[in-house]
Amino acid sequence: MLVNLFTNAAKYSERGGRIQLTVGGSASTVVVSMKDPRIGIASDQVDHIFDVLTQVNQSSEKAQGGFGIGLTLVKRREELHGGTVEARSEGAGAESEFVVQLPVVSEGSEPGEANVDQAPSATSSLRILIVDDNRDGADSLAMMLRIVGNETRPSYDGQAGVDELNSSGQR
């Protein structure tokens, strides 16, 4: 989660910009805040920034494309661990902040125990082709989907993904 947030912050911040990382919390919760002086998030987009295929306004010169799944993965991962994630911004051109809260795992408890009812079933059995030019992202997603019982195959560019799909006879 944090690597994804940091990568986004670096991608959209000006060269030499400062990304501020703060860690705190209590005996039961860890809170990580990441602030960056990037392009900001328009007020009408803040509530939807974690929705799948959602991207901030691409008119910025810092926009670098992507599929719009990175922040959705952050949201799903924190949910698996019983946490929360929130995006904050005062609008386009203003500072962006992402706040992740996760429960502290004590000895004898399991990660995600606080949110077991919302965790996906480990009996899922889909065959999933993951296409992403970010190898680490594709491999991480493949691993996460395998953990919950899916068969996954990562592919690292669009044409290779299409070729893989065509060779498997799947549509």
Query: Tell me, what's the pLDDT at 35?
Result: 86
CB atoms within 10 A of CB 143: 11
DSSP secondary structure code for residue 42 in this structure: -
By three-state DSSP, how is residue 139 classified?
A: helix
Same domain, 130 and 69: no
- What does the pLDDT read at residue 169? 65
The residues facing 37 across adjacent strands are: none
Retrieve residue 106's tokens: 């004590």
How do residues 141-157 score in pLDDT, each as one tens digit?
888 778 778 889 999 98
- What pTM does this model have? 0.56
Is 171 within the bounds of a domain?
Answer: no
> Residue 160 sits in which domain range?
120-164
Instruction: Give the CATH number for residue 8.
Output: 3.30.565.10
Whole-angstrom distance, CA of residue 79 vs CA of residue 73: 10
Tell me: do 16 and 97 sit in the same domain. Answer: yes
Same domain, 61 and 96: yes
- β strands within 90-141, DSSP E: 96-103, 127-131
Q: How far apart, in Å, are the Cα atoms of 16 and each of 58, 61, 143?
A: 22, 16, 33
> Do both 28 and 58 map to the same domain?
yes
Residue type, 2: L
Amino acid at the residue 47: D
Residue carrying structure tokens 């509530």: 47
pLDDT at residue 53, rounded to an integer: 55
Tokens of 10: 């670096």
DSSP type of residue 99: E
Same domain for 91 and 147, yes or no, is no
User: Can you list the residues of the chain whose pLDDT is less than 70?
Assistant: 38, 52-69, 106-124, 169-171
For residue 1, tell me if it sits in a domain: yes
HSE-CB of 166 using CA atoms within 13 angstroms: 6
Same-domain pairing of 134 and 98:
no
